[in-house]
Amino acid sequence: MAAKKPAAKPNVSKEDLLKYYKDMLMIRRFEEKAGQLYGMGLIGGFCHLYIGQEAVVVGLEAAAEEGDKRITSYRDHGHMLACGMDPDGVMAELTGREGGYSKGKGGSMHMFSKEKHFYGGHGIVAAQVPIGAGLAFADKYKENGRVTFTYFGDGAANQGQVYEAYNMAELWNLPVVFVIENNQYAMGTSTKRSTHSPSYWERGAAYGIKGEEVDGMDVLAVKAAGEKAVAACRAGKGPYILEIKTYRYRGHSMSDPAKYRTREEVQKIREERDAIEHVRDLLLTGKHATDDDLKAIDKEIKAVVNKAAEFAKESPEPALEELYTDIYADA
């Protein structure tokens, strides 16, 4: 199967378009609120916001089926919301409370949901890549037709274990989609300063893995590419690499002075390429929604996010006994 560019604009229903809009806006508002809570000292440690990259997870989740798996880095809030995890539980984990997905013991970077097949939340750059291939190994072994989305950054894409995983994934035809979220920076290092290879997805060719570059500010393009990758995996022709070009608007984490890029650069992308604005335009020009409809959606989402923030503030800290639980499973 040759790596074909996706068709210009796939047909999309009004319902689907509205769903992508809502899901992306949900992530953005959630992240803005998380930033606020961090500033108030309610969230501690590292907190990596996903603002700007929303179309990546929303597009790929649109290509996923029930039972498919996902795994990512510490920049994970968007992935969790997009796969249907409860905003209350995610926010309460950010504040380190009992009601959080990991009972407050994991924090922003380390959350999991077996129910939603979300395998974390990993703090060590690129560690999730072979683990994602391993999840796919288990699915292939069980012959259950499931696919794993393994997300990692442009910075992570230089780690050696990525290539060890590529080699085995192709050798054993594992049903894994390697998703490189190329937001152009790894902390303060632009991609130009960390590699001379012209693209990340093409590196898969050295191992015989197909792939393509995708416009990550266009949720429909992401979805189309995701469907193709998933189809290949389900047909036993995995793995597949998607290099999704995106951009993070905020600092690397909350404590990043961001001196490595200009405000103008960020502003320009926000104004010209914003993924949410793009869908908003499609909705309005396609007469799928009115300004008032969108205002109502915004209000609805704000309410959900405010409720999550309230829950995250009200939920008690974990009981002190929790310090010593969950270290070993009962044998």
Partner 1 sequence: MATEILMPALSPTMEEGTLAKWLVKEGDTVASGDILAEIETDKATMEFEAVDEGTIGKILIAEGTEGVKVNTAIAVLVEDGESADDIATPAPEAAAQPAIETPVPAAAKAEPIAVVVPEEADIPEGTEMKSTTVREALRDAMAEEMRRTPEVFLMGEEVAEYQGAYKISQGLLEEFGAKRVIDTPITEHGFAGIGVGAAFGGLNPIVEFMTFNFAMQAIDHIINSAAKTLYMSGGQMGCPIVFRGPNGAAARVGAQHSQDYAAWYSQIPGLKVVMPYSAADAKGLLKTAIRDPNPIIFLENEILYGQSFDVPQLDDYTVPFGKAKIWREGSDVTLVSFGIGMKYALEAADKLAEDGISAEVIDLRTLRPMDTGAIIESVKKTNRCVTIEEGFPVCSIGNHISAVLMQEAFDYLDAPVINCTGKDVPMPYAANLEKLALTTTAEVVEAAKTVTYR
Out of 57, 58, 186, 289, the residue judged to bind ligand TPP by CB under 6 A: 186
Contact criterion met (CB below 8 Å) for 91 and 255: no
Residue with tokens 């910075």: 155
Out of 148, 159, 182, 183, the residue judged to bind partner 1 by CB under 8 A: 159
Contacts of partner 1 in 167-186 (CB under 8 A): 186
> Smaller CB distance to ligand TPP: residue 111 or 297?
111
Out of 86, 154, 213, 243, the residue judged to bind Mg ion by CB under 5 A: 154
Contact criterion met (CB below 8 Å) for 69 and 139: yes
Distance CA 79, CA 93 (A): 15
The structure tokens listed for 277 are 């604005």
> Smaller CB distance to Mg ion: residue 171 or 187?
187
Tell the smallest beta-carbon distance from residue 253 to ligand TPP (Å).
Answer: 8
Contact criterion met (CB below 8 Å) for 110 and 99: no
Q: Is 104 in the site for partner 1 (CB under 8 A)?
A: yes
Q: Is 183 in the site for Mg ion (CB under 5 A)?
A: yes
# residues near ligand TPP by CB under 6 A: 14
Contacts of partner 1 in 256-285 (CB under 8 A): 257-260, 263
Q: Is 36 in the site for partner 1 (CB under 8 A)?
A: yes
* DSSP helix/strand/coil, 266: helix
Distances from the Cα of 273 to the Cα of 11, 53, 199, 219, 248, angstroms: 21, 11, 21, 12, 12
The whole-angstrom distance between residue 15's C-alpha and the CA centroid of its chain comes to 22
Tell the smallest beta-carbon distance from residue 146 to partner 1 (Å).
Answer: 27
> Smaller CB distance to partner 1: residue 127 or 231?
127
Contact criterion met (CB below 8 Å) for 222 and 192: no
Which residue's CB comes closest to ligand TPP?
A: 153
**Residue 33: which of 97, 87, 113, 96 has the closest Cα?**
87
Distance CA 180, CA 308 (A): 29
Contacts of ligand TPP in 91-150 (CB under 6 A): 123-125
Q: Is 153 in the site for ligand TPP (CB under 6 A)?
A: yes
**What phi and psi, each to the nearest 5 degrees, are found at residue 279?**
-70, -35
* DSSP helix/strand/coil, 190: strand
The structure tokens listed for 134 are 């391993």
**Residue 275: which of 41, 3, 82, 136 has the closest Cα?**
82
Tell the smallest beta-carbon distance from residue 154 to ligand TPP (Å).
Answer: 4
Residue 35's binding partner among Mg ion, ligand TPP, partner 1, none (Cβ under 5 to 8 angstroms by kind) is: partner 1
CB atoms within 10 A of CB 69: 22
Query: How big is the chain by its Cα radius of gyration, in Å?
Result: 19
Q: Is 252 in the site for ligand TPP (CB under 6 A)?
A: yes
Residue 193's binding partner among partner 1, ligand TPP, Mg ion, none (Cβ under 5 to 8 angstroms by kind) is: partner 1
Contacts with partner 1 by CB under 8 A lie at 32, 35-36, 38-42, 44-46, 93, 96-97, 102-110, 122-126, 155-156, 158-160, 186-189, 193-195, 254-255, 257-260, 263, 317-318, 320, 322-324, 327
Contacts with ligand TPP by CB under 6 A lie at 73, 75, 123-125, 153-156, 183, 185-187, 252
